[in-house]
Structure 1
Amino acid sequence: MPLSDPDVCDLPGGPRRIALLGGGFSTDADGVLDAWVLGHARAARPKVCFVPTASGDAEGYVDRFLTAFGALDCEPSVLRLFRREAGDASLRAFLLEQDVVYVGGGNTANLLAVWRTHGVDRLLTEAYGRGTLLCGISAGANCWAEGSHSDSFGPPAHLPDGLGLLPGSVCPHYDSEPARRPSYRRAVASGALPGGWALDDGVGALFTDGTLTETIGRTAAARVHRVEADGLGGTSEVPVTT
């Protein structure tokens, strides 16, 4: 369920920003999208925390992050929840000092469940209100919205769940997985998901206070798409130039 406690969401700290990624260190060798993310951090040498919950804290995934971001001008770290060591106060302090929280891909439903068990959903909402840039790929993009198109339970389908920090819904892998586009459009048309944003692989989309403010594409063809119900039982789909 979306988090809407005004005492948490309306803290001062600058604009509230979320970056949805259709790539990054885990899929692309060129580092374009990761450099773009760091360029929007609030610090010249940002603290960047990788959260691999959706993959079950897969060590290979963690290693790829540390290798990629260890070569960049930042201070990388990792939050593992499957072998958590920090207490609640230390966990809160750690997350609130991060300039960027970068969430990896995997299972969106499992990610949300584990976060709620550890209270990380509320800590990330607090960090968002204080100006931390939240970002991620696949499940790490889905989790910020009110709902998403996810393969958490098998074939891609609607998941009416998320932190609710970004209005509407999100669908990743829009151009690379053939089942995504028709299934997502059916979910939006039926009202199973609110209208939202579909991401081709290779794009980045920055939202400031819930509004799309910037996009980037690794290729000329990569797009972010706005998908909404058309009121006639179908959907409208408008690509955004990157």
Structure 2
Amino acid sequence: MTVDPQPRVALIGGGFSDDEDGLLDDWVLGRVRASRPKVCFVPTASGDAPAYVERFLAAFRERPCEPSVLPLFRRELDDEALRAFVLGQDVVYVGGGSTVNLLAVWRAHGVDRLLREAYGRGTLLCGISAGANCWAEGSHTDSFGPPTHLADGLGLLPGSVCPHYISEPGRRSSYLAAVANRALPSGWALEDGVGALFTDGRLTDAVTRSPRARLHRVEPDGDGGATERAVPCRLLGPHRVTGRASTS
């Protein structure tokens, strides 16, 4: 195991479950120092869906890494072995599904505490959809049916997160309203196809697999509304760089 000593979180708007080119997953692996990083997939939000697990394994077996899976609905590891397993990973990759259910199951098994410890040790924590939401103080979710705010999360990333910002109806307007009325703190809205890396809570890299996909910073405007600002992103793949991520 070779980790970067700085605490880092990566939010992914795609990856193996959505994208054919694999650019975002390659970007994640490129953020790790190890030549063959240990990458653990955590499918809790989907109820450990077997097909989802197989898609992860099929995608990452072909990459220079050591993939594994942490199931919790049919848990096999005792507390000591679970801690050793989580802390032995270079990357923890959390899948999509229900953010609310994910947080509840993690807390029941103490995985939330282990992930905090792994974060402090430099393990790269990342994920898509619910797997992006979970790291922040709050998030925008469809865990309850219609899109709404969830003022709950691990709080490793300051502020809030909204995935699928443009692709899912109601997301953008609902998230803007939640930030405007301060039901959620200021945060980051990801369009599908975007990746954002945060080092110790600060944005240090922003990438996109499509020239049209954007990362947005959303904040209250002081007049009862909210503002959104598109953040420049590097274009992945055999394309020219379109911009540099803000680190403010």
TM-score category of the 2 structures, normalised to the smaller one? over 0.9
> 1:59 matched to which residue of 2?
50
Q: Which amino acid aligns with 1:58?
A: A
Aligned-residue CA RMSD (Å): 0.9
Alpha-carbon distance between aligned partners in 1 of 2:206 and 2:218, rounded to the nearest angstrom: 16
> 1:77 matched to which residue of 2?
68
- List, as ranges, runs of 4+ consecutive aligned residues in structure 1 with deviation greater than 3 Å: none
In structure 1, stretches of 5+ residues that fail to align are: 1-11
- Could you tell me how far 1:42 is from its partner in structure 2? 3.0
> 1:4 matched to which residue of 2?
none
Q: Secondary structure at the match of 2:173?
A: helix
**Counterpart mapping for 1:130-209 below 5 A:** 130-209=121-200
Q: Secondary structure at the match of 1:71?
A: coil
- Could you tell me how far 1:202 is from its partner in structure 2? 0.2
Q: Which amino acid aligns with 1:80?
A: P
Q: Secondary structure at the match of 1:232?
A: coil
The CA deviation string for residues 150-172 of structure 1, in whole angstroms up to 9 with x for no partner, is: 00000010000000000000000
Alpha-carbon distance between aligned partners in 2 of 1:236 and 1:65, rounded to the nearest angstrom: 36
What TM-score comes out, normalization by structure 1 length? Answer: 0.94
User: How many residues end up aligned between the 2 structures?
Assistant: 231
What TM-score comes out, normalization by structure 2 length? Answer: 0.92
Alpha-carbon distance between aligned partners in 1 of 2:95 and 2:126, rounded to the nearest angstrom: 9
- Could you tell me how far 1:233 is from its partner in structure 2? 0.2
The CA deviation string for residues 203-235 of structure 1, in whole angstroms up to 9 with x for no partner, is: 000000000000110110111000000110001
Alpha-carbon distance between aligned partners in 2 of 1:101 and 1:117, rounded to the nearest angstrom: 19
Q: Which amino acid aligns with 1:122?
A: R
Alpha-carbon distance between aligned partners in 2 of 1:60 and 1:79, rounded to the nearest angstrom: 14
Q: Which amino acid aligns with 1:164?
A: G
Q: Secondary structure at the match of 1:82?
A: coil
Alpha-carbon distance between aligned partners in 1 of 2:169 and 2:81, rounded to the nearest angstrom: 43
> 2:106 matched to which residue of 1?
115
* 2:59 corresponds to 1:68: yes
- Could you tell me how far 1:44 is from its partner in structure 2? 1.4
Q: Does structure 1 retain, via aligned residues, the 8 Å contact 2:37–2:90?
A: yes
> 1:225 matched to which residue of 2?
216
Amino-acid identity (%) = 73
* 2:12 corresponds to 1:21: yes
The CA deviation string for residues 71-101 of structure 1, in whole angstroms up to 9 with x for no partner, is: 0000000000000000000000000010000
Alpha-carbon distance between aligned partners in 1 of 2:209 and 2:142, rounded to the nearest angstrom: 25
* 2:117 corresponds to 1:126: yes
